[in-house]
């Protein structure tokens, strides 16, 4: 198995979406996660994405993880969402 690894600069305000192909094959653009979460929790956004994928057929299992970077990041400090 070959694993792709990519390093990115993490900044406060970033929102990362990790998902299975069960989401990406059902939703070409996961619009529920675009832009500001509008006061919704990450759990609510994930649930909406899974529900949207299932409403469009849901032919595969759907796994969604959202990670929100908050606060000030200092060298060596990690944040979790």
- The reported pLDDT for the residue numbered 30 is 61
- The reported pLDDT for the residue numbered 66 is 93
Domain count across the chain: 1
Distances (CA, A) of 9 to 12, 52, 61, 69: 10, 30, 30, 11
Sign of dihedral through CA atoms 69, 25, 30, 46? Answer: negative
Series of mean pLDDT values for 10-residue runs along the chain (81 residues) = 91 91 83 61 92 89 92 62 50
Residues of the domain holding 18:
1-81
- The reported pLDDT for the residue numbered 50 is 92
**Residue closest to 13 by CA, chosen among 70, 65, 67, 66:** 70
């Amino acid at each position: 198995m070959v694993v792709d690894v990519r390093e990115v600069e993490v900044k406060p305000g970033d929102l990362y979406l990790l998902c299975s192909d069960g989401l990406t094959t059902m939703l070409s653009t996961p619009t529920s996660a675009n832009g500001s979460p509008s006061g919704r929790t990450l759990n609510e956004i994930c649930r909406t994405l899974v529900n949207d994928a299932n409403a469009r057929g849901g032919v595969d299992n759907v796994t969604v993880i959202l990670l929100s970077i908050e606060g000030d990041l200092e060298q060596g400090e990690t944040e979790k969402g």
